[in-house]
Amino acid sequence: MRPPAFWDADAPRGSARLTRALLAPASAVYAWATARRIARTRPARAPVPVICVGNLTLGGTGKTPVARALLEIARDQGRSPAALSRGWRGRLKGPVMVDPALHTAADVGDEPLLLAATAPTVVSRDRPAGARLAAEHGADLVVMDDGHQNPTLAKDLSIVVVDGETGWGAGRVFPAGPLREPVAAGLARADAVVVMVRNKDDRPDYAGLGLAELDIPVLTAWLEPAAPPPDGPLVAFAGIGRPQKFYDALAAQGGELAEVASFPDHHAFTRREIDALTDLAEAHDARLITTEKDWVRLPADARERVAAWPVRAVFAEPARIADLVADARPRVDAAREQG
């Protein structure tokens, strides 16, 4: 779905305020149910340390690029990391090791296919079972993409990712706003926060996000393209949380956008839609381009018609995030040492 306008903090006050007020009881129930589930679940411990990269809002904040960056950091440190994902909208419940040569986005979801390009990846709706499978396949560290509100698997390092531009939206819990839980409750379980900004020159509003007084690390990161956009006119399309960010990034890197087309997050593209986009590109004498995440959801026979534009997460303070990854270890071991 596309986020409703009243989720935005800058939405016109009149109608947005009324809508939020009408939805407030449902939001209270949603927040209560989340808090109750977290409080009443006893997390299972994995055989190896678990780093969770999550967020407090619905929609895209950059979790998967951050998770991929952590996997690369861990590998550079000499570890054997694996990724763990629920496999949103994939038909396989798992636990299963993702094989990009065998599985499609319909099988395991789009994000696991991206993660599998960086490190061995497990899809499992049962997170503890997925972590065990990763360890059985040689992983000595699990990086879980999403799951901050999933209490079934114990986390040894919990990182919350927030979009520095949209922040917490209207600051209301779903359905009155984009929050999965109240900000204070979510940050209380976090060990670090990563604020995703537009570029290296952007300065996040820590005070406005309520992060200025936190006693945990707050880091800044942004997405950088792995290569410049193709030359010539482009018809860009995307089915991600915030497609405009993709278009803005293309334009900022010199991409010549002839037209854009947006779809809902995790959209499953049909051949008819790709044919229509191809006709649109031909009308502009342009080339089709999309995100890596969208590209893996395209029908296999359509991918040769579309360029994928890969990006990676870059940290303003790489040494700090590397130290967090290096120090990730089972909390129970730390407790024993202190005792």
Binding residues for ATP: 57-64
What amino acid occupies position 215? D
Tell the residue number behind the tokens 């509100």, with chain if given.
149
Helix axes 63-76, 318-327, angle to 10 degrees: 70
Q: Which two tokens stand for residue 161?
A: 């990712």
Place of tokens 């915030």: 242
Spell out where the chain has E strands.
50-54, 81-85, 96-97, 121-123, 141-145, 157-163, 192-197, 218-225, 233-238, 256-262, 287-291, 306-309, 311-315
Q: What's the CA gap between 64 and 264, in Å, rounded?
A: 18
Structure letter (DSSP) for residue 8: S
Write the CB contacts of 69 (distance below 8 Å, at least 6 apart in sequence): 221, 312, 313, 314, 315, 321
Cα–Cα dist 283/25, whole Å: 49
Distance CA 40, CA 49 (A): 22
Stated length of the chain: 339
User: Binding site: what residues are annotated?
Assistant: 57-64
